[in-house]
Amino acid sequence: MAVKFLNRSFFQRIFGLPATPKPIDPQCWSFGDGKVVIDLNRARELDKPGGALRVESGGLPMRMLVVRGDDGAFYAFHNRCTHIGHRRLDPVPGT
């Protein structure tokens, strides 16, 4: 099995800056009644398997990372490193 890596700069690695950018359309998601709703017609980042979307701010109590898996399903994660809490997670392509 080949080891996959993200193409991150030195500063991204040192300071824990995510390689996953913020949404192209910041209005593609909303938060209300304890639920996050993503408009898949506007969230172009999730069009293809392996795509990811950072969901942050907007009254959201925690940062989220939404990933479209190779199986086409969507997965949501609390976007926080368990080792160093201030760092955000990034999906690794092909894993």
Asked if residue 28 is part of any domain, the answer here is yes
Least confident of 6-20, 21-35, 47-61, 79-93: 79-93
Q: Which residue has the higher pLDDT, 61 or 92?
A: 61
Q: What is the pLDDT of residues 34-70, one digit of tens each?
A: 999 999 999 999 999 988 898 988 788 888 889 998 8
CA distance 44 to 59: 22
Contact status, residue 63 vs residue 56, Cβ threshold 8 Å? yes
Asked if residue 67 is part of any domain, the answer here is yes
Asked if residue 39 is part of any domain, the answer here is yes
Asked if residue 71 is part of any domain, the answer here is yes
Residues in the chain: 95
% pLDDT > 70, the chain: 78
**Could you tell me the residue range of the domain that residue 30 belongs to?**
13-78
Q: How confident is the model at residue 89 (pLDDT cuts 50, 70, 90)?
A: low
